[in-house]
Structure 1
Amino acid sequence: MDPTEETLNNPAIRAYLFRLVGEEGLNLLERFPTEGEHSDEDLAASTGINLNSVRHTLYTLYEKRLAEYHRIKNNETGWLTYLWQLRTDHIYDAIREDMELVFDKLSRRERYEEENDFYICKDCHLIFTFPKAMNTDFKCPDCGQPLGHFDNEVLLTSLTDRIEAIKKSLGHA
């Protein structure tokens, strides 16, 4: 079985790629020729996918090191042609990098939620940190209603659970 086909048959990887390049991008990946390098124009012609979509998908994959190219210059016209090939062997590295980014963001958010006390307007549903609530005398700046304490324990528990799951997946546990 072709490595790209094998990669696309994994539901988790397929979901990641769908989030990354969308339905048209997945269609391109499924139809990408298995051998050699191909220009974006050739890929668009052979797959029937819009050239701009092909280019967008290739550049997105390139940013994650899931595609690479080399340029050739036509000496008569001076035009550059980019020849592309997929690098699905880098998929796990790309997913790991994205998970590390999510882990960092969630960890920062967890710290923010732990370090702050929150107040909410029961009418407008606006949430304020303690200093901002204090600056408005614990009244909503939009409607004037008194602010009540907001218990963020459910959010904090959810963040902690998600962080622990990512730690386990990344081998940080």
Structure 2
Amino acid sequence: MDPIEETLNNPAIRAYLHRMVGDEGLNLLERFPREGEHSDEELAASTGINLNSVRHTLYTLYERRLAEYHRIKNNETGWLTYLWQLRTDHIADALREDMSLVLDKLSRREKYEEENDFFICKDCHLIFTFPQAMNIDFKCPDCQQPMGHFDNEVLLKALKERIVAIKKSLGHA
């Protein structure tokens, strides 16, 4: 099985790529010629996908190092042609990098949840930190109803479990 097909057959990687490039991008990946380098115009013509969508997908993949190009210049016209190829061998690095970013965001959110005490309006479901609630006399600014304490233990537990799972996936646990 070729590397692109193998990559696209993995449900987790397919979902990751779908979030990154959408339906048309996945369509391009499935139909991307397996050998050689190809211009965006060639890819659009051979796949039937809109040229702008092809370019958008290629640039998005390039940002994650999942595609690369080299340019050639037409000496008569001065036009540059970009020849593209996929780099599915970099998918693990891209996933690891994105998971590290998610881990950082979740860790910051965990710290925020641990360091703050929260209050909620039972009617409007607006949530405020203790200092925010204190500044509005523990009354909802929308409906003026008194706010009650909000227990964020379920959220904290879920955050901690997700952080542990990501750390384990990254080999940090």
Instruction: Report the TM range for the smaller structure's normalisation.
Output: over 0.9
Partner of 2:2: 2
Instruction: Give 4+ residue runs of structure 1 displaced > 6 Å after superposition.
Output: none
Task: Report the Cα offset of residue 142 of structure 1.
Answer: 1.5
Task: Report the Cα offset of residue 123 of structure 1.
Answer: 1.2
Distance (Å, rounded) in 1 between the aligned partners of 2:48 and 2:57: 14
Partner of 2:21: 21
Distance (Å, rounded) in 2 between the aligned partners of 1:5 and 1:134: 57
Distance (Å, rounded) in 2 between the aligned partners of 1:7 and 1:164: 26
CA RMSD of aligned residues (A): 0.6
Matches within 5 A, 1:140-151: 140-151=140-151
Unpaired segments ≥5 residues, structure 1: none
State yes or no: 1:39 paired with 2:56. Answer: no
Partner of 1:157: 157
Length-normalised TM-score, structure 1: 0.98
Task: Report the Cα offset of residue 2 of structure 1.
Answer: 1.2
Length-normalised TM-score, structure 2: 0.98
State yes or no: 1:115 paired with 2:125. Answer: no
Partner of 2:56: 56
Distance (Å, rounded) in 2 between the aligned partners of 1:87 and 1:104: 26
Task: Report the Cα offset of residue 7 of structure 1.
Answer: 0.9
Q: Deviations over 1:118-168 (max 9, x none)?
A: 000111111000000001111111211101000001101110010010011
Which amino acid is 1:4 matched to? I
Unpaired segments ≥5 residues, structure 2: none
Equivalent position SS for 2:75:
coil
